[in-house]
Structure 1
Amino acid sequence: MSDRFFLYDDTIQAKTRFVSFMGEEQRHDLALLYSDNHYGKVIIMDMQSNRFAIIGPDDLKEEGYLEFAFGISEEKAAELLDFLSEIIY
């Protein structure tokens, strides 16, 4: 068996925030993982769909990004964008 080649293998301290809110279109259950990795972006995990994305302010400005990343409709993405715009800046 060959030696495993790691690009990195770090153990870090991270802050996790769990948020659940009801929008007009659906309920959103999210885990937000904050760390010094990923150039200041936040890992957003949708606990209902088991999908996640690494999101920063630049990603929120990208048209269609939330729809693609989380596999949701424009209406649901608009609700999510409204919330994420308040906490990611």
Structure 2
Amino acid sequence: MTERFFLYDEVEETKTRYVSFMGENQRFDLMIMTTTRYYGKKIVLDIQSNRFAIIGQDDLDEPGYLEEAYNLNDEDGQELREFLNEVI
């Protein structure tokens, strides 16, 4: 067996928020993790779809970013964007 080559192996304390809300068409169950990595962006996991993205304000301003990352239609993407604008 060859020796494992790690690019990094670190442990860090994070802050995690679990939030669930009902939109017009679907329920959102999210885990929002704050870490010192990713230039101040947050890791947002949609627990129901098992999809996640690393999101900052610049990503929220990017048209279609949330819709692509979470496989959402325009209306659901806008609801998620409005919520995340409050917490990111």
Q: TM-score range by the shorter chain?
A: over 0.9
1:5 equivalent in alignment to 2:5: yes
Q: What is the aligned residue count?
A: 88
1:65 equivalent in alignment to 2:65: yes
Identity rate, percent? 57
Residue in 2 aligned with 1:51?
A: 51
Unaligned runs of 5+ in 2: none
Matched letter for residue 30 of structure 2: L
Alignment RMSD (CA, Å) = 0.6
Residue in 2 aligned with 1:34?
A: 34
- Is the partner of 1:80 in helix, strand or coil? helix
TM-score, normalised relative to structure 1: 0.96
Residue in 2 aligned with 1:20?
A: 20
Unaligned runs of 5+ in 1: none
Matched letter for residue 52 of structure 2: F
